[in-house]
Structure 1
């Protein structure tokens, strides 16, 4: 295979689901551990089991929990519970949040590897603030089916971002955003919303042109916020903040699985343009669920209305196979105080230390 060429597609399952969950490691006061985390992370790498794998990340004080390929989001939840348990048992204090609320600008401590060194050289001074994501993979049996899933999920990436949005604070101040993580990620090269594509050939051509222009080694250096992973046979949804609640993480994985399944069975007749999708997303970055977006029928309507419909559609396609129960957590998200509002309320009433304690407490609440 030539340098930068997209590899052949490897079948990845029949709408299976898996999760990569990034967690920050903090001290007793909720501050990032920095270099003190290095031996801890080295030990946690051994915490994997049949439930999944714990790996390090570009940030020295962060781990990534990787579930196996799962049939259902219930299985995802069970895996993440065991992996979070192993992290805590290994002596770590994890925090699930899209941006560490108080980490100082320029305070990120980075690790070295051949891949990370190349990224750091290209990013220069951009990797200055620790961020963490909830990344969901959906497996597909072939390229055509994957592209159907791509079209349907692409339309609803702003909704998924809104449901997970929970990083209003950065550098100890209120950013004014529902998710400051999105603003940080957008500063990175080749990190954009996924473009409108009609076929697998379109994906290959677009990706190979980008890697050639960037002189990047391979397709994994294109960081769209949803991207095909040919060697895994999956679509990787990268748009969501890390969330403290296990139930919410599983529910969001189920929603991704449901949207993908419906897109395969009943493709949307229309596509949102790149420009309109970007406007939808920017409104969500600022306001979370409390905004209006252009829906797939080109109508402008409240995002909460869109969310209710998409949730119902996902239940309808997942319920026949007994896969819909985790969606109850998404319904709970829609009925609860929005996460950015909760965090602001905690800071207003108890100060930033109260927020940091709350984020850790919910992350280690393995019944949550």
Structure 2
């Protein structure tokens, strides 16, 4: 498919012969490569949508329920009812065995012994013995120190101060300092000034000579650098021209005329091929669905409609309905027979009681009386008549009057 008519025309990159030449083969190749991928993708998507809701979600919920029932709930019960009480018991036991004895030993043994056996005697010893001894020793040492200081000041400090003031200071002043000051002012200062003037003149001459040499050297080096720069500039221009001509221009032409059109055509071909593959995949899917419908669905529907439905109706009308009616009639007959048997047993009990006790109409207290029933074919209520079904398979009376 050529969709170049629907694409905006780029005036900088016209539709060249190379583009037209590679467009159709590239799209054919890309379609051949993309079509299996698209069909596999559509097949996987359809399979996922088919099994997601009816299979995967119930399976996930079932696995979650199994995990909750078989793993999380037992673990929670184990943690709550076993591990937590066990940890509390172990903690209490460890506290009782390792912490409380040491606390009691510290509180009731070590602290009283240290307090009343060591601290109290030491405090009493310090307050009543060491403090007075310390005060007395301090007074004694104070007196001794004062005497020693007076002796030191009298025997050492006063003679040393007199020696420094009256001997050493005059000797150092008039024997050393005054001659040195005269020597510095009268001899060393003029000599230093002359030496400084000589060195200044020498430095000025040296600086002037070095300046001339530096200017000449700089002029020579500047000329050399200008020549090198001009040569390098010409070489740079030549190398740049060569690189642009031999590398950049061909690469730019290759990118603009070959790589960009090929890449664009490949991208467009991939897009078009993906769309065409989608159409083909949808057509294949519809064809498979049509085949499945006409090969399996239609025959199955025809068989259900033509064979199974009439057969089911025949079974329902010919077998199931008569069997159900016969079962209902049999149930009614059985119930009627049971009612007749119960009434017969009651009548026999009444007759036996009359024979044993006597009396024409005597009845035993608490003897159950028969429920009056209506006979078939009449409206007369007879006390000794048993109930009978109004519908009978034989069409005759099953209960006689007593």
- The bucket for the TM-score relative to the shorter chain is under 0.3
Larger Rg: 2
With normalisation by structure 2, the TM-score equals 0.11
In terms of fraction of residues, the more strand-rich structure is 1
Name the structure where helix makes up a greater proportion of residues. Answer: 2
